[in-house]
């Protein structure tokens, strides 16, 4: 007698497809004939896989247009004899509906097997879940139409999985975020169903702040910094500051400033709010003292010499409420002195630039500091020589002026050196000189555009900072005559307003000579017209001869 041993199991495939599996005995070599139905409708194109007691498929057939299939056991390769009981496993893949009917021809207990799957459903509370809060998951709405739920398998999406036999379970999330919770219910037939929901776990922000300066004075600007606050869920959208003096301010950035008008102890409370609408606060006590004093000082002489007594005067320091009780001086040379008197004397033994620092303390214990650089020694730049290359230069021609300057002080100096013709600036150069050095600089003077006449040549250095002796910052180099071209001499040795034989003879006598020993006045021009080339040649004679007989109008 063919005995039916039929059971069904369901497994989860990709995209939630279901495999319906049925195992039974059948007499060899009868074929298996059946039909796949879904909701009473034949299902064509469904793959039906058949196995005997082997572990792999022996045959796979596809249902026809009427949902029918036929499997020939005679095609099985295991050598069964007629009348053998063959254990056959039938798999219908996939089955998406919760109820699927499979006709099994040649089955003694009927040709229709009904697979009824359970229904999975759950809810949770509270609906807004916080980190660390206990959540209740309730699968009481899950049921099995033809039996009962045997187990509830929970995957909470945070790495925690568990299987229980009761529909209600509790869980606590340790971190904020989105978690997919999956419930798998298994019925008494071994069939399963799945339901999933995405939960959002939120968290309160954490408020934290610092301020600077730590002990501010009244009216002093205090910077409050809430950068250490964390949103923990979403991001921070608001920082509400209660400064404890009646001022409440809400900003969207972590930094803010505040001034207290009265000294005292204040409680500052910061409340931060994140994008979930959750807030948290932190309070800290801040002590505001009176307005600190303001340190300032002067000294005389402003540029003392080594060994000279310097008077430092801090009388211009302002107490701002209290009284100044102490003046602490650091003179920058290793000497540190404290006194209650704002005026003090000090002597520097060597030259240099010293950083002098004054720290004052008032009757409230508040301090302030001022620093200045005090130069000790000599800042002195001198012009030692100004020389013109010519005493006579032709109009629209050029000549050179050389200036020698020396650093006669104790400091390297950078300064501007300017050369003049009368009050007209010829040129300015920026010069840097190390201690004890001198330099000679050549300037080119073009007389283009100048009227004929006598011009005094001079040089001037604008005083460097702290320079006391400026008497040698200017020097005259004598005068130069600007004359018509070719008029370089006359009866008295100076231009006489005409170009005649005296001018030609003077240039001719120097012909072929270099300058010096030849007179530079004879070197009128060179290869570049109007610019002397340090020698007397045919160009110079031609420049005079070309204008022979001309008279200055």
pLDDT tens digits, residue range 473-487?
999 999 999 999 988
Any idea which residue has 């330099």 for tokens?
A: 439
pLDDT tens digits, residue range 197-244?
999 999 999 999 999 999 888 878 999 999 999 999 999 999 999 999
The pLDDT of residue 21 is above 90:
no
Any idea which residue has 């999956």 for tokens?
A: 182
* Structural domains for the chain: 7-116 (2.60.120), 123-202 (2.60.40.10), 210-288 (2.60.40.10), 298-376 (2.60.40.10), 381-482 (2.60.40.10), 484-553 (1.10.1330.10)
**What is the spatial distance between Cα 203 and Cα 234, in angstroms, rounded to a whole number?**
9
Q: Give residue 74's pLDDT.
A: 62
Q: Give residue 332's pLDDT.
A: 96
Kind and range of the H or E element at 508? helix 501-509
**What is the spatial distance between Cα 267 and Cα 284, in angstroms, rounded to a whole number?**
6
How would you label 513-539 residue by residue, b for 16+ Cβ within 10 Å and e otherwise?
eebeebbbbbbbbbeeebbbbebbbeb
What length is written for the chain? 553
Q: What angle do CA 447, 452, 454 make, to 5 degrees?
A: 90
Q: Give residue 336's pLDDT.
A: 96
The mean pLDDT of the chain is: 84
More confident residue, 514 or 344: 344
pLDDT-above-90 percentage for the chain: 53
**Residues β-bridged to residue 425:** 420
Q: Is the pTM of this model over 0.75?
A: no
Stretch 341-367: mean pLDDT: 92
Indicate the DSSP class of residue 318. Answer: B
Any idea which residue has 């709405």 for tokens?
A: 141
DSSP 181-210: EEEEEEETTS-EEEEEEEEEEE---B---E
More confident residue, 135 or 514: 135
Q: Give residue 20's pLDDT.
A: 44
More confident residue, 263 or 23: 263
**What is the spatial distance between Cα 537 and Cα 508, in angstroms, rounded to a whole number?**
9
**What is the spatial distance between Cα 178 and Cα 538, in angstroms, rounded to a whole number?**
100
How would you label 27-38 residue by residue, b for 16+ Cβ within 10 Å and e otherwise?
ebbeebebbbbb
**What is the spatial distance between Cα 374 and Cα 515, in angstroms, rounded to a whole number?**
50
SS3 content of the chain, % helix, strand, coil (to 5): 5, 50, 45
pLDDT tens digits, residue range 487-509?
898 898 899 889 989 988 898 88
Kind and range of the H or E element at 419? strand 413-421
**What is the spatial distance between Cα 526 and Cα 3, in angstroms, rounded to a whole number?**
133
């Amino acid at each position: 007698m063919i005995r039916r041993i039929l059971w069904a199991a369901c497994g989860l495939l990709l995209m939630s497809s279901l495999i319906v599996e049925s195992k039974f005995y059948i007499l060899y070599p009868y074929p298996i004939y059946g039909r796949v139905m879904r909701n009473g409708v034949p299902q064509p194109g469904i793959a039906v896989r058949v196995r005997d007691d082997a572990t792999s498929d022996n045959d796979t057939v596809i249902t026809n247009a009427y949902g029918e299939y036929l499997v020939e056991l005679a095609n099985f390769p295991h050598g069964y004899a007629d009348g053998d009981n063959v254990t056959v496993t039938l798999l219908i893949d996939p089955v998406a509906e919760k109820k699927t009917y499979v006709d099994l021809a040649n089955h003694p207990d009927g040709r229709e097997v009904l697979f009824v799957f359970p229904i999975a459903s759950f809810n949770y509370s509270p609906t807004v879940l916080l980190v660390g809060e206990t959540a209740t998951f309730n699968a009481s709405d899950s049921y099995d139409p033809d039996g009962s739920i045997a187990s509830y398998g929970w995957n909470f999406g945070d790495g925690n999985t568990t299987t229980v036999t009761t529909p209600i379970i509790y869980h606590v999330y340790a971190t904020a975020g989105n978690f997919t919770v999956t419930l798998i219910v298994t019925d008494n037939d071994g069939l399963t169903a799945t339901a999933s929901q995405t939960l959002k776990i939120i968290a309160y922000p954490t408020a934290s702040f610092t301020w600077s300066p730590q002990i501010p004075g009244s009216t002093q600007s205090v910077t409050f910094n809430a950068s250490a606050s964390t949103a923990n869920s979403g991001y921070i959208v608001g920082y509400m500051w209660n400064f404890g003096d009646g001022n409440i301010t809400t900003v969207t950035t972590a930094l803010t400033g505040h001034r207290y008008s009265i000294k005292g102890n204040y409680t500052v409370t910061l409340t931060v709010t994140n994008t979930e609408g959750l807030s948290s606060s932190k309070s800290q006590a801040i002590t505001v003292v009176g307005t600190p004093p303001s340190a300032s000082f002067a000294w005389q002489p402003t540029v003392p010499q080594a060994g000279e007594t310097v008077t430092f005067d801090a009388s211009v320091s302002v107490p701002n409420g209290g009284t100044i009780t102490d003046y602490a001086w650091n003179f920058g040379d290793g000497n540190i002195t404290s006194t209650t008197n704002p005026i003090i004397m000090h002597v520097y033994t060597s030259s240099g630039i010293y950083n002098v620092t004054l720290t004052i303390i008032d009757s409230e214990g508040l301090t302030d500091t001022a620093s200045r650089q005090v130069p000790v020694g000599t800042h002195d730049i001198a012009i030692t020589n100004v020389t013109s290359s010519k005493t006579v230069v032709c109009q629209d021609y050029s000549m050179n002026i050389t200036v020698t300057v020396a650093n006669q002080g104790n400091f390297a100096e950078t300064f501007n050196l300017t050369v003049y013709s009368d009050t007209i600036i010829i040129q300015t150069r920026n010069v840097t000189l190390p201690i004890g050095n001198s330099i000679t600089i050549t300037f080119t003077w073009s007389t283009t555009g100048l009227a004929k006449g006598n011009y005094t040549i001079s040089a001037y250095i604008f005083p460097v900072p702290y320079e006391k002796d400026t008497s040698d910052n200017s020097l005259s180099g004598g005068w130069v005559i600007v004359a018509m071209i070719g008029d370089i001499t006359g009866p008295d040795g100076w231009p006489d307003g005409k170009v005649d034989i005296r001018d030609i003879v003077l240039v001719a006598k120097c012909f072929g000579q270099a300058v010096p020993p030849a007179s530079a006045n004879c070197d009128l021009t060179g290869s570049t017209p109007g610019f002397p080339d340090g020698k007397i040649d045919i160009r110079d004679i031609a420049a005079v001869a070309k204008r022979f007989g001309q008279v200055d109008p």
